[in-house]
Amino acid sequence: MTTKTILLTGFEPFNGAAINPSWEAARALDGWSGPGFQVAARLLPCEFGRVNVALLEAVEAVHPDIVIAVGQAGGRSEISLERVAINVDDAAIADNAGAQPVDNPIIADGPAAYFSTLPLKAIVRALRLRGFPAGVSQTAGTFVCNHVFYGLMHHAAGASLKAGFIHVPFLPEQAAERPERPPSMALQDIVDGLRIAVEVAVTADEDVAEAGGATH
Q: Is 24 designated active site?
A: no
Angle (nearest 5°) at CA 109 between 115 and 216:
40
Name the DSSP class of 65. S
Between CA 143 and CA 94 the distance in angstroms is 9
Sign for the CA dihedral angle at 168, 173, 179, 184 comes to: positive
Q: Is 155 designated active site?
A: no
Map residue 32 onto helix, strand or coil. Answer: coil
Q: Is 82 designated active site?
A: yes
Residue of 82, 147, 154, 180 marked catalytic = 82
Q: Angle of helix 144-156 relative to helix 50-62, nearest 10 degrees?
A: 40
Between CA 63 and CA 59 the distance in angstroms is 5
Residue of 167, 180, 206, 216 marked catalytic = 167
Between CA 166 and CA 10 the distance in angstroms is 10
Residue of 24, 46, 145, 147 marked catalytic = 145
CB atoms within 10 A of CB 100: 14
Between CA 79 and CA 128 the distance in angstroms is 10
Name the DSSP class of 122. H
Catalytic machinery residues? 82, 145, 167
